[in-house]
A and B are shown apart, each in its own frame.
Chain A
Amino acid sequence: MTEAPLQIRSLSVAYQRKLVLWDVDAVVQPGRTTAIVGPNGAGKSTLIRAALGLIPSAAGEVLFFGRPYAESRPRVAYVPQRESVDWDFPVNARDVVAMGLYRRIGWCLPVRSRHRKLAEDALADVGLADFARRQISQLSGGQQQRVFLARALAQRADLYLMDEPFSSVDAATEQAILEVLRRLKGEGRTVVCVHHDLDTVGDYFDDVILLNMRVVAAGSVAETFTKENLRKTYGARLSLLDEAVADLSRRGGPMR
């Protein structure tokens, strides 16, 4: 049996004295796409960032392919939120994608032509072949998101952790990202996305982790993404929720 790409055991994270994640347990199944869903401030991004060791966790254990992150690093790729960087930085799209190859290039060695070729291939995979030499501030928001995705693709990882890749992107970008998710899944790779749009969870993902400080429910979308579980996750914001659920059943989603 293959090891779970990501296993989180009673992970707790606190900012100052405020608890953000509380005893989170989660297992991500290999070769599937998983959405982490929850209200604002539920700790969705924090979960990913703590799992990767970007922020200190108060307690708990995170295993990637059965080992600590430091040992599984080459098999894991991270797509941060687009807003986390300054896009005015003096590099072009290809330079950013090449950053995904820096570990493979190694310390102190420059990016060579074969790496640039790999970066261009990754850009082509997200439909940005013509934008390789475009300065990154001159890309639209959706294109910037795709550049980040291409950088992760260039890493050729087995597990992709993406922080809100679908957040305020244009439709062309949405299609390009979906295409990539399908292809990664077809190659047996695993994808975990922080996702905010309840309408599309059923269409885009196999599994879902409903998070609000702690895991409310986790499992396949068909079994887990129920009205009852969503109510538990989102609490009082019912009217909004009912709308989303109604919408989902209209589309022939898992709830009827």
Chain B
Amino acid sequence: MDALWRFLLLQDHNTRVVLAGACLFGAAAGLVGTFLLLRKRSLLGDTLGHATLPGVALAFLLAHAAGLSTRSLPILLGGAALAGVAGVGAVLLIRRISHIKDDAALAIVLSVFFGAGVTILTAVQQLPGGASAGLDHFIYGKTASMTSADATFIFWASLIVFAGCTALFKEFALLCFDESFAKAGGWPVRSLDILLMALVILITVVGIQAVGLLLVVALLVIPSAAARFWSDRLGVMAGVAAAVGLASSAAGVAVSAILPRLPAGALIVLSSAALFAVSFVFGTRRGLIVRSQDEHRAVKRLRREHLLRAIYECAEASGNAAAEKPVPVASVHEKRPWSARELAREIESAAEAGLLTTTPDDAQVRLTTRGFAEARRLVRNHRLWELYLLHHAEVAPGRVDRDADLIEHVLDPRLVAELEDLLDAERRRAFVPGDPEKLSP
């Protein structure tokens, strides 16, 4: 309890530093991660993270040999950045000079670089002072040991990422959406791509200090993937991703401040996973709930249409269709593979919508004027579509867009007129409704 209060009141200088550093990193990672995700390069981010390890270890060795401080963060992270660039370069090289596919190239580079890193790291730990150098912190992260100097470094790196992503927002968007068009329009696609990857490398290098190189990709990918559930606009998505990254970092640092034996880096990643789960279910654009509501509505509309058409067709079968004509529920039931209860429920809901009325004993239904007009429209549209598919099968698949509710919205007037002629010809044999717009007064 005491620990919680100490954290909430930000009493420790150390807590303040760690919190600020982690939050800045989380927000910047979420922002640049949005573009990484949309560019479909998430795995490259992972490879990048793993590829930094030999860089860190080699930088330590070189600093040791040159007699420099082996704990200097700029030197170690500089090594990490160079190794990251080499890793990305290796992926591009493999892709260009061989027929090996992307996923294989990424897996090869990821494991080879990480293997090399582990080897060098083991060698380093046998050096005097090497075991206590804390290089393994770079693998798992050691958020809690962040110093003011580290936080300042994170601050500047994040600032560059924010500035870069804001200034080049529309350029990056174009690059991610339509590379060909960007290139044809004269945008320097390759330079933009390199710039984006440079920002990713920068934030990765910053992140290996905070959450470790194994987990840094999580903060690049998870916040932006979570953000996609909340918005269909890129700007909003990027903002939400930054917020999710920031919130995960804050939550992770908070939990580890209260329970000091748990590693903050892993907690940050778990927090972002929790936020992802929440977004997945409750996201207002693509969340599970919104999507199932949409589906439910569509099913409901379809059932309503089926009911109206069935009633109309029953009325039609027993003579001329007219609004006031009552139709026995039993004959409607024959037309639809519904249970009696389902049918009763559909009828009730249609009655509530004012499309039909039922007799007191529920044995017969009668369309209201509005329900009749709607039913006639549906039946006509349905039959025109049927005729179209029957007579124009050779062109149908490409042109039929049955999502559109009215045939006139999809087919050109000439074709609709032609179909109506066909319909008229059939009407002489059976009773088929005409165009309600033309016939009704």
A-side residues, CB < 8 A to B, are 49, 52-54, 70, 73, 76, 78, 80, 84-86, 89-92, 95-96, 99, 102-103, 105, 107-108, 110-111, 135, 140-142, 151, 168-172, 174-175
Contacts and interface: CB of A to CB of B under 8 A. Distances in A.
A175 B187 CA distance: 32
Interface string B376-408: 000000000000000000000111110110000
9 contacts: A80-B180, A91-B177, A99-B177, A99-B178, A135-B232, A142-B401, A170-B399, A170-B400, A170-B401
Contacts of A99: 173-174, 177-178, 181
B184 A52 contact: yes
A98 B187 CA distance: 15
B174 A102 contact: yes
Contacts, number: 99
Nearest to A80: B180
B71 interface: no
Contact of B185 (A84, A96, A102, A172): A102
Interface in B152-199: 167-171, 173-174, 176-178, 180-181, 183-187
B233 A140 contact: no
Nearest to B186: A73
Interface of B: 38, 40, 167-171, 173-174, 176-178, 180-181, 183-187, 228, 231-234, 237, 397-401, 403-404, 409-412, 415
Contacts of B410: 170-172
B232 A90 contact: yes
DSSP majority for the B interface?
helix
Contact of A140 (B167, B186, B232, B401): B401
Contact of B177 (A96, A103, A171): A96
A175 B416 CA distance: 14
B185 A85 contact: no
Contacts of B171: 102, 107-108
A85 B412 contact: no
Given A53-B183, A170-B399, A92 B168 contact: no
A90 B174 contact: no
Given A84-B180, A86-B177, A171-B399, 6 more contacts: A99-B178, A103-B185, A105-B170, A140-B403, A142-B401, A170-B404
A174 B184 CA distance: 25
Contacts of B232: 90-92, 135
A111 B167 CA distance: 12
Nearest to A103: B185
A149 to B, nearest CB: 12
B181 A78 contact: yes
B419 to A, nearest CB: 12
